[in-house]
Amino acid sequence: MGSGIIPYMSALPHVVILGGGFGGLFAARALKRAPVRVTLLDRHNYHLFQPLLYQVATAALSPGDVASPIRWVLRRQRNVKVLLADVHRIDAAGKRVVLNAAATGDAEEALSYDYLIVATGAAHAYFGHAEWAARAPGLKTLDDALEMRRQVLLAFEAAERETDEARRRRLLTFVLVGAGPTGVELAGALIEIARQSLRQDFRSIKPESARILLLEGGPHVLGAFPQALRDKARAALERLGVEVRTNAVVTVVDADGVKVGDERIAAQTVLWAAGVAASPVVTSLGVPLDRAGRVLSEPTLAVPGYPDVYVVGDVCALQQDGRWLPGVAQVAMQGGAHVARNITRAIRREPPTPFRYRDYGNMAVIGRAAAVVDLGRIQIAGFLAWLMWVFLHVFWLIGFRNRVAVMSEWAWSYFTMQRRIRLITGERLWPKAG
């Protein structure tokens, strides 16, 4: 069967969705039986399960384990057309999106819509220091994860050849900036790589001597969690051997490492997990944005002044019960489905309903068989929390093959303490000299 839109649908209202992440994908699925035709645009041809991206970066999983082609995910939904495209700007007054030139070299294209859902996600934020990006990669895409994995593994390889002790210590020092869930998960995974997975692989160095520093500018690790779980997470990281520093504001990131105040920390590898900013395409809407570049939306998730344009996930700033909704997958999933319902209501000439996020809890994994889970009144840490984390992440993965692959890799890693995906890819072999 072909994948094109059924011809009679051309007269139906056209819904354009920007982004194939959680928000965009759940919106498209929720429109399956709606009297609309849908065009989903994304600059990548895959949906990425971002909560497990750090496991690609730390050699636990392959890229294909955490990503699925968008066309395959939506293959049975005949009212959806998927286009690989990069959005240049949104012309909300003209009800169209302008696309960057295609690979064929054609001029810019414009795609008209009746309803628009903007779910383009977030990019890294370096707090006014864009020059740090080249030295301290963040973690938002598969390319980011592969580059991070490459830098980590190359640091050990370069240390094996290094004879100068000071340079070797620098090569085996890893600095992570930001102690939110991503930073904590990366730190726990890196210490496991050094002390378990690589322990018997080298002859001139002891990988377990690697120094892992987790730097947080605020007063707490996992600032969004209750105090009891923050303390347990920090204690678990320190037991593993991670050096955790709070109130440690990074002021310099350069070729030699980082500076925290007046202290210089020499490090070959610096990884960024400190902040995000909304995708810049929303600036073309010409509406008020918050400090992170997110649209200050209406309660219905509509853009102020444009009731036919909705924002979902990391590009949406909305308060609920006096608190800003967090930039997590569940908010995007629920927001995408809610926007789809409001579009269906609009087609029926019914008023839209305000979005109400249902918080199912928060969780972060720290290391092997260790995690923290916040379910509101119920707070869990340790092995049981880790089991809950495993179950929920496998449950939300797209595709049966991915679930089986991830479970088999995790089982093998749990019992052998090894990470099989230790492949160094890319043309440049050695890390840049500091």
Q: Which pLDDT does position 429 carry in this prediction?
A: 59
Instruction: Check which CATH number belongs to the domain holding 285 and give it.
Output: 3.50.50.60
How confident is residue 406, by pLDDT bands cut at 50, 70 and 90? confident
Helices and strands in the chain, H and E counts: 10, 27
| 270, 153: one domain | yes
pTM of structure: 0.90
Task: Report pLDDT digits (tens) over 80-136.
Answer: 999 999 999 999 999 999 998 765 556 678 999 999 999 999 988 898 899 999 999
Is pLDDT above 60 for 390?
A: yes
**Mean pLDDT throughout 215-242?**
95
Catalytic residue, candidates 157, 160, 165, 185? 185
Q: Which pLDDT does position 424 carry in this prediction?
A: 84
Among residues 347, 362, 379, the one where a domain terminates is 347
**Mean pLDDT throughout 419-434?**
67
| 255, 291: one domain | no
Residue with tokens 């991830």: 406
**Mean pLDDT throughout 298-319?**
97
Q: Which pLDDT does position 260 carry in this prediction?
A: 96
| 109, 152: one domain | no
Q: Domain of 24?
A: 7-43+85-124+276-347
**Mean pLDDT throughout 41-70?**
93
Is pLDDT above 50 for 1?
A: no
Is pLDDT above 60 for 303?
A: yes
Q: Residue 415: inside a domain, yes or no?
A: no
Q: Residue 373: inside a domain, yes or no?
A: no
Q: Is 165 a catalytic residue?
A: no
- For the chain, the domain total comes to 2
Q: Phi and psi at residue 155, in whole multiples of 5°? A: -60, -40
| 109, 215: one domain | no
Among residues 249, 274, 299, the one where a domain terminates is 274
Q: Which pLDDT does position 254 carry in this prediction?
A: 95
Q: Residue 215: inside a domain, yes or no?
A: yes
| 257, 285: one domain | no
How confident is residue 413, by pLDDT bands cut at 50, 70 and 90? confident
| 243, 336: one domain | no
Is pLDDT above 90 for 369?
A: no
User: How do strand 67-69 and strand 46-48 relate by DSSP bridges?
Assistant: antiparallel
Q: Residue 174: inside a domain, yes or no?
A: yes
How confident is residue 414, by pLDDT bands cut at 50, 70 and 90? confident
Is pLDDT above 90 for 53?
A: yes
Q: Residue 198: inside a domain, yes or no?
A: yes
Q: Which pLDDT does position 377 carry in this prediction?
A: 86
**Mean pLDDT throughout 142-157?**
94
Lowest mean pLDDT across 11-25, 91-105, 159-173, 331-345: 91-105
Is pLDDT above 60 for 408?
A: yes
| 260, 228: one domain | yes
58, 149 Cβ separation under 8 angstroms = yes
Task: Report pLDDT digits (tens) over 341-363.
Answer: 999 999 999 999 999 999 988 99
Instruction: Check which CATH number belongs to the domain holding 215 and give it.
Output: 3.50.50.100
Q: Residue 141: inside a domain, yes or no?
A: yes
283, 87 Cβ separation under 8 angstroms = no
Strand locations in 246-404 (E): 250-254, 257-260, 263-266, 269-272, 276-278, 295-296, 302-303, 306-311, 316-317, 319-320, 323-324, 362-367, 370-374, 379-382
Q: State how far Cα 190 lies from the chain centre.
A: 18
| 216, 231: one domain | yes
User: What per-residue string of b and e applies to 29-42 under the rule 16 or more CB within 10 Å gives b?
Assistant: bbbeebebbbbbbb
| 239, 141: one domain | yes
Reduced to 3 states, what is the DSSP secondary structure of residue 110? strand
Q: Which pLDDT does position 100 carry in this prediction?
A: 84
Q: Residue 163: inside a domain, yes or no?
A: yes
How confident is residue 432, by pLDDT bands cut at 50, 70 and 90? low
Quote the CA–CA distance of 342 and 297 in Å, as a whole number: 14
Quote the CA–CA distance of 71 and 20 in Å, as a whole number: 10
How confident is residue 3, by pLDDT bands cut at 50, 70 and 90? very low
Residue with tokens 């895959």: 46
Task: Report pLDDT digits (tens) over 155-166.
Answer: 999 999 999 999
Lowest mean pLDDT across 2-6, 234-238, 328-332: 2-6
| 211, 119: one domain | no
| 140, 270: one domain | yes
The better pLDDT of the pair 427, 218 is held by: 218
In the chain, what is the straight-line distance between the N-terminal and C-terminal CA atoms, in Å? 55
Quote the CA–CA distance of 267 and 289 in Å, as a whole number: 36
Quote the CA–CA distance of 326 and 303 in Å, as a whole number: 18
| 158, 243: one domain | yes
User: What per-residue string of b and e applies to 398-412 under the rule 16 or more CB within 10 Å gives b?
Assistant: bbeebbebbeebbee
Best CA proximity match to 145, nearest among 84, 62, 85: 62
Quote the CA–CA distance of 196 and 207 in Å, as a whole number: 9
Q: Residue 182: inside a domain, yes or no?
A: yes
Q: Which pLDDT does position 385 carry in this prediction?
A: 94
Is pLDDT above 60 for 4?
A: no
Q: Which pLDDT does position 184 carry in this prediction?
A: 96
**Mean pLDDT throughout 390-404?**
83
Structure tokens at 398: 């797209």
Is pLDDT above 80 for 205?
A: yes
Residue with tokens 């890390």: 431
Among residues 216, 248, 274, the one where a domain terminates is 274
**Mean pLDDT throughout 259-280?**
93
